[in-house]
Structures are given as structure tokens and as C-alpha cells.
Chains A and B, each alone.
Chain A
């Protein structure tokens, strides 16, 4: 089955700096890659996603890049703010028709310090 590795497990940055989280996946059939942010005790919230036919996607301070050849994708957060502090999960999905299976990475705890 699909395996998703995520690095680093913890990341501490100063407010205003950039943060980068990297993930690799094993199954070349994966075709959808969402990123979720989870604050302590809360539900995972989708922050950005990318499909396999796109190499890069940006939404304000957040961007995701996908390299299908190398089977890795990354989350970039610029101008970090204290409210960006949370656990971030990458995921890879193999979807076919109405069937979809999301495999999550192990999470990155991002701490933005003042």
C-alpha cells in the first residue's frame, strides 16, 4: 500500500521567517495531495491541495509544490505568524472513480516564536 514519509517532525521558526515541510510518497498511482493543519484538540483542516497534473499551487502565504518524478511534495509557508503554530499533515490519495484512500504522513509540529 501507499506509504507517506514526512519531515521534519518538529520545526521551530521565528515570526516572519519561512517554513518548509517535505513529504515523499511511494505509490506512483497517487494523484491527489492535500495538506491539513491540526491545532491541539481540534479537527484537521484542509489548507491547500494539489492534483497530480499540477506542479505548483499557491494561496496567499501558503504554497505547495509537487515533483511526480521524485515522488515528493512540499508545503511552503511564508511570513509565518504565531497563529500558524500547529501540527501539519501531508497526505497522498489514490482515487479511482468514487473510491478514495488518503494516507497521511506522521505530522510536523510547527512552532512560530515571537
Chain B
């Protein structure tokens, strides 16, 4: 158990819909990262939050957004879903200082029908 909690574990929805993925970081971790893992794209960094503020951005689509709340949990919102958004979405957390290990949650498997 990494201490990072992600809900839900599985999500099945249809094209055009909107979903919210939730992540609770390890106790004491201030940074939360979101990753997308698909068969053809591998593990892709989406976005990082540190103590409530956006700190780094990867190839995150405009249809996707995230935020980190005062209690440090984070949510990733995916809208206008397309078939290609089907993937495993991982959240990771770290203490947040430079070059500290990131610990991954068990992921949310999103299936778009």
C-alpha cells in the first residue's frame, strides 16, 4: 500500500460525458501529480499541484482540468470524453521538495463506450 488513495477504481461512461477522478495523497505529502497511461502513449505526465497551486504542466488536454483543495486532496476533471480518453489514470504524491520520490496510487481505469 503506497498510502495514495484513488477513487473510483473503475469508471465506465459514454462519449461526450464528464467525469471526476479523486486522489488523496500520502499523509505529509504536499505535491500531487496526475498521469495518464494508455497502451499506445505509455505513462504521460499531465499536471502537478503543490499545496493547492499548479506547479507544472504536461500534455494535458484543454478538456481536462484539475485542482488541489485545502485538505490537499486533488480532483481531475475530464469533459467531452472521447473514445481515446480510455486509459488508466494514476495519481502520485511526494513531499514536494526538489527530487523527492513520487508514490503512485492504484489508479482509476476509465472506459469510454
For the complex, give the distance between the alpha carbons of A46 and B26 in Å: 15
* Size category of the binding interface on chain A: 20 to 34
- The residue on A at minimum CB distance from B101 is A46
User: Assuming A89-B43, A98-B98, what are 13 further A-B pairs, CB within 8 angstroms?
Assistant: A31-B99, A34-B101, A43-B90, A44-B43, A44-B104, A46-B101, A98-B31, A98-B50, A98-B55, A98-B97, A100-B94, A102-B33, A106-B42
* Complex contact B105–A43 (CB within 8 A): yes
User: Residue B85 at the A interface, CB < 8 A?
Assistant: no
User: Residue A61 at the B interface, CB < 8 A?
Assistant: no
Residues 38-78 of A contacting B (Cβ, < 8 Å): 42-46, 49, 51
7 residue pairs bridging A and B, Cβ less than 8 Å apart: A31-B98, A31-B99, A42-B106, A98-B50, A98-B97, A100-B33, A100-B48
A interface residues (Cβ-Cβ under 8 A, vs B): 31-32, 34, 36, 42-46, 49, 51, 89, 91, 93, 95-107
Query: Residues of A contacting B58 with CB < 8 Å?
Result: 101
Choose one: A51, A98, A102; the contact of B102 (CB below 8 Å): A102
Asked, given contacts A42-B106, A43-B2, whether A99 binds B48 with beta carbons under 8 Å apart, the answer is: yes
* Complex contact B99–A32 (CB within 8 A): yes
